[in-house]
Amino acid sequence: MDKLRVMFLCTGNSCRSQMAEGWARALAGDDIDIKSAGIEAHGQNKRAIQVMAEVGIDISAQESIRVNAEMLEWADLLVTLCDNAEEQCPLLSPHTIKVHLPLPDPAKMRGSEAELLDEFRESREKVRQRVEFVLEQVALDAAV
């Protein structure tokens, strides 16, 4: 049987979806194929890279990419991580299941560097919870 193909989508593919891709790779290993993308490509976010490194996950080699039709065709499961991605997502293939698990964008927060890092850490943990939820659902479906 082919591996399940999961894509995480947010607005800029620099924070939330990048963290989700990193968590999914760490938690699921080689059990599923994982990608992330954005409605736009905003580049890598140094704070997202830093807070993921704090938990031993290196996302520095991941690329910030804009979603395209080929990627949407590839995905069996699309997880949108913000309302903008949910609203702006292009049409999906009939075989693709979409799950919406929104989070605020930590890159839009303002404050001192310490406050911003705390926001990114909180986002990291919320992303982890969402990825764990997705992986639990995938495991339940596989068991049925």
**Hey, which residues does 99 pair with through a beta bridge?**
79
Q: How far apart are CA 111 and CA 34, in angstroms?
A: 33
* Gap between the Cα atoms of 4 and 108, Å rounded: 32
In a domain, 90, yes or no: yes
Assigned domain for 27 exists: yes
Residue 144: band (very low, low, confident or very high) from pLDDT cuts 50, 70, 90: low
Specify the number of domains making up the chain. 1
Asked if the structure places residue 93 within a domain, the reply is yes
CATH no. for residue 46?
Answer: 3.40.50.2300
| pLDDT tens column, 73-105 | 999 999 999 999 988 887 777 888 999 999 999
Instruction: Kindly state whether residue 104 falls inside one of the protein's structural domains.
Output: yes
Per the confidence metrics, is the pTM higher than 0.85? Answer: yes
Residue range of the domain that includes 72: 4-139
Q: What is the pLDDT of residues 1-58, one digit of tens each?
A: 588 999 999 999 999 999 999 999 999 988 899 999 999 999 999 999 999 999 999 9
Angstrom distance (rounded) from CA 12 to CA 3? 26
Is residue 144 assigned to a domain? Answer: no
What are the catalytic residues? 10, 82, 89
